[in-house]
Structure 1
Amino acid sequence: MTTTAFVFPGQGSQRVGMGRELVTRWPHLLDAYYRPADELLGLPLSELCWEGPADTLADTAFTQPAILLTSVATLDVLLRNGVRPTLVAGHSLGEYAALVAAEVLDWRDALRLVRLRGRLMAAVNERVPGRMAAVMGLDLRTVEGLCAAVRELSGQVVEVANDNEFAQTVVSGQAEAVDELITAARAAGATRALALKVGAPFHSSLMAPVEEEFTEALLRTEFRDPAVPVISAVTAAPVTSAAEVVDTLRRQLTGRVRWTESVTRLAGEGTDHILEVGPGKVLSGLCRRIAPDVPAHTTHDGDHVVRALELLAGAEGPVGSVTTV
Structure 2
Amino acid sequence: MSPATCFPARCISGTTFKPFSTNSANRTLRTALFFPGHGVHRVGMISSWVEAFPKTSKPFIDEMDSTLGFSLSRIVSRGPNSELNKTENSQPSIMATSILILRILEREFGFKTKERVDVALGHSLGEYSALVAGGYLDFLPALRMVRGRAEVMAQCSQRARQRSGESYGMIALICEPDHLQSLISAIQEFLGPGSMGSKDDSSYEMSSIQQVLIANINSKNQIVLSGSIQRIKTLLVQLRQFGGHDPRAVRLKSDSPFHSPIMAPAAQYMRTKLETTDIKFPAAMPCVSNVSAVPFTSKENLKDLLSRQCVETVRWWDSIRYLDQERGVKRWIGIGPGKVGRNLVGKEVGRIPSKGGGVWAICDPREVEDVINALEKSEHEDTDDV
Question: Could you tell me the TM-score, scaled by structure 1's length?
Answer: 0.89
Deviations 1:274-308 (A, max 9, x none): 11111110110010111227621111111122322
Contact 2:288/2:296, CA 8 A, preserved across alignment: yes
CA-atom RMSD in angstroms: 2.3
Give, in whole Å, the separation in 2 of the partners of 1:181 and 1:308: 43
From 2, 9, 19, the equivalent of 2:46 is: 19
Q: Is the 8 A contact 1:134 1:196 kept in 2?
A: yes
Determine helix, strand or coil for the equivalent of 1:34: helix
Distance 1:258 1:218 in 2: 22
Please list every run of 5 or more consecutive structure 2 residues that lacks an aligned counterpart in the other structure.
Answer: 1-27, 162-167, 194-206, 378-386
Give the equivalent residue in structure 1 for 2:160.
128
Percent same amino acid at aligned positions?
33
Determine which structure has greater relative contact order: mean sequence separation of CA pairs < 8 Å that are 6+ residues apart, divided by chain length.
Answer: 1
**Letter paired with 1:250:** S
Kindly report which structure 2 residues correspond to 1:55-204, keeping only aligned pairs within 5 A, or say none: 55-80=82-107, 81-84=110-113, 85-129=117-161, 130-137=168-175, 138-149=179-190, 155-185=209-239, 188-204=244-260
Q: Is the 8 A contact 2:183 2:245 kept in 1?
A: no
How far is the alpha carbon of 1:66 from its aligned partner?
Answer: 0.2
1:55/1:186 CA distance change after superposition, 3 Å? farther
Q: Please state how far the C-alpha of 1:185 moved relative to its aligned partner.
A: 4.6
Q: Deviations over 1:158-201 (max 9, x none)?
A: 11000000110001123331121233455544341132231311
Structure 1 pair 306/16, CA: closer, same or farther in 2 (3 Å)? Answer: farther
1:147 deviation in Å? 4.8
Q: Give the distance between the partners of 2:208 and 2:70, measured in 1 at CA.
A: 42
Letter in structure 1 aligned against 2:292: T
Amino acid corresponding to residue 133 of structure 2 in structure 1:
A
SS of match in other structure, 2:102: helix
Please state how far the C-alpha of 1:77 moved relative to its aligned partner: 2.1
Do the aligned partners of residues 303 and 184 (structure 1) sit closer, same or farther apart at CA in structure 2, a change above 3 Å counting? Answer: farther
1:270 matched residue in structure 2:
328
The match for 2:337 is 279
Give 1:310's aligned residue. 373
TM-score scaled by structure 2?
A: 0.76
CA distance in 2, matches of 1:262, 1:205: 22
> Match of 1:37?
64
Which residue of 1 is the match for residue 271 of structure 2?
215
**Contact 2:152-2:265 within 8 A present in 1 as well:** no
Give, in whole Å, the separation in 1 of the partners of 2:285 and 2:130. Answer: 10
Q: Which moved more, 1:220-229 or 1:151-160?
A: 151-160
The structure 2 residue matched to 1:9, chosen from 32, 36, 47, is 36
User: Structure 2 vs 1, CA of residues 148 and 59 (structure 1 numbering), >3 Å: closer, same or farther?
Assistant: farther
Q: Which runs of 5+ in 1 are unaligned?
A: 315-325
- What per-residue deviation string (whole Å, max 9, x for no partner) do you get for residues 2-32 of structure 1? 9321000000111121122112222123343
Contact 2:57–2:104 (CA under 8 A) maintained in structure 1? no
Give the 3-state SS of the residue equivalent to 2:269 in structure 1.
helix
C-alpha spacing 1:120/1:26, structure 2 compared with 1 (3 Å): same
Could you give the per-residue CA deviations for residues 68-117 of structure 1, whole angstroms, max 9, x where no partner exists? 11000111122332252211100010000000111000000110011011
For this pair of structures, how many residues does the alignment match? Answer: 314
Select the structure of larger CA radius of gyration.
2
Residues 151 and 236 from structure 1, CA distance in 2 versus in 1: closer, same or farther, beyond 3 angstroms?
closer
CA 1:156–1:239: 2 relative to 1, 3 Å: closer
CA offset digits 1:22-72 (Å, max 9, x no partner): 122221233431111111112221122222222221111101100011000
